[in-house]
Amino acid sequence: MLAKVTSLAVIGLDGAAIQVEVDISRGLPNFIIVGLPDTAVQESRERVRAAIKNSGASFPDQRITVNLAPADLRKAGPAYDLPIAVGVLAASEQVWPDLQGAVFIGEMSLDGGVRHTAGVLPMISVAREQGYSRAFVPAEDAPEASLVTGIDVVPVRSLSELVGHLQNLSPIAPYESRFDYDILSQPTYGTDFRDIKGQEHVKRALEVAAAGGHCVLMSGPPGAGKTLLARAMPSILPRLTIEEALEITKIYSVSGMLPSDQPLVTERPFRSPHHTTSHVGLVGGGNWPRPGEISLAHRGVLFLDEMPEFGRHVLEVLRQPLEDKVVTISRASGTLTFPANFMLIGAMNPCPCGYYGDPVKECTCSPVMISRYSKRLSGPLLDRIDIHVEVPRVDYDKLTDERLGEPSGAIRERIERARQVQRLRFAGLRGEARSGGAVLCNADMGPAEVREACRLDEGGRSLIRAAMSQLGLSARAFHRVLKLARTIADLAGESDIKSVHLAEAVQYRPRRQL
């Protein structure tokens, strides 16, 4: 007998419906899975066989053929265990379920239990889009699946429990979501700006960066506070909108990094990979591509400490994502695109020993060593960083000062007001060359938005003309200075960019071209 069960697959960050066709016929006992299954799918034969027997059902002693359609789409992961088991039971007439409008997802243990499966959120999203009304998912993943409205989520703990439901003996009630985003999205932060002594001009630069989503490179001697400042950055970033939270949750769901007790990511990501990270670990990839660190930092912060210590090739792969806000990975089997709209914060020493230009400790590096060290960051990469700021040594008097600085909450309020101005400005606009991504902040602007939003008066045009001549700014740097000036004006509550805003933006460009 033939049975058809619908399951789902994840391709990149998108889902796809998969038809699981199970045919049981006479012949020597055999269990075959076809349709481009990977090793994990092939191994489901033994998991399904044991799960059915240990759940009190009978495993057919006949020829079983499972086809995963479409056959030209590679199937990966253990999410097909549950639909294959249901198909075997239906084809052997041990259950007579109504499978119309239903999808099944779940890995199975040998005792018939149903385990967590990665990528549930994008899979359920596509199920709703394609008109399915019921989704049978592992009970552990039901809170995540319930983030998708308009589809009944049925939590399944074991195969025997599911059989009772399908036979109408002991129906499973659909999962009722108790999701309240306003309650969940109250983040806590480990580092507050008020606890950081001194470095007021660096705090100002980070405030401007947070207000407009700009990238920052901090340079200074060891122990000046670069890492501490970077780790305090999430405390001043605006709260995630529900749309942004769902974007991030999809990425973490596909990556298998979503905490079991937290169905939705409610805090902006802060990723800090080690300098030994490979370019695949940074941008994503592999035989079956998965998101890398830059996608895991989407709508958040990617912090590269000791930036020149990263491999040259690893850093250069950042150039395209910094421009396009997406990363495209091409393989022989196809091309996948992952979102990568992140704030890059880099930290570096001015030289190998770290004390070049320090007023207290003498630098021991030769000019050749300093030049070679600085050239580890290429000109094209530095040109894509909006804010370059020096982080000097902190004086003893400031370190021992008992007075606290301005708290992160007060800074965040100013940033949220500036972001609200930007959201109203760009309402309805779509980003250029960003795969249709919305323009949410000033850093997302393309040339057309810059032309409309960054108009200068005569004094501003004279100032930027002089800056381009003296600093040798490229056309890209010219646009980045205008975006930065627009952000500074938004923080000041000004509708027009004035010369003082433009002057501050220009002083964030590097004073020496590396």
User: Regarding the domain delimited by 2-166, which CATH topology (the fold level of the hierarchy) does it fall under?
Assistant: Ribosomal Protein S5; domain 2 (3.30.230)
pLDDT in tens, 288-306: 788 999 999 999 999 999 9
Residue 433's pLDDT is 37
> Exposure string (b/e) for 434-463, b if CB count within 10 Å is 16 or more?
beebbbbbbbbbbeebbeebbebeeebeeb
All CATH 3.40.50.300 domain ranges in the chain, comma separated: 193-507
Q: Tell me which residue of 249, 400, 382, 358 sits closest to 304, measured CA to CA.
A: 382
Which CATH superfamily includes the segment(s) 193-507?
P-loop containing nucleotide triphosphate hydrolases (3.40.50.300)
What CA–CA distances, in Å, run from 85 to 58, 106, 172?
11, 10, 18
Residue 436's pLDDT is 43
Q: Tell me which residue of 506, 400, 405 sits closest to 456, measured CA to CA.
A: 506
DSSP symbols for 208-246: HHHHHT--EEEE--TTSSHHHHHHTGGGGSPPPPHHHHH
All CATH 3.30.230.10 domain ranges in the chain, comma separated: 2-166
228 neighbors 196 (Cβ within 8 angstroms)? yes
pTM of the model: 0.89
15 neighbors 126 (Cβ within 8 angstroms)? yes
The single-letter DSSP state of residue 328 is E
Low-confidence ranges of the chain (pLDDT < 70): 179-186, 332-333, 428-437, 511-514
| Residues pairing with 137 in the sheet | 155
CA distance 35 to 150: 30
Residue 183's pLDDT is 55
Here the tokens at position 494 are 């000004």
Residue 121's pLDDT is 93
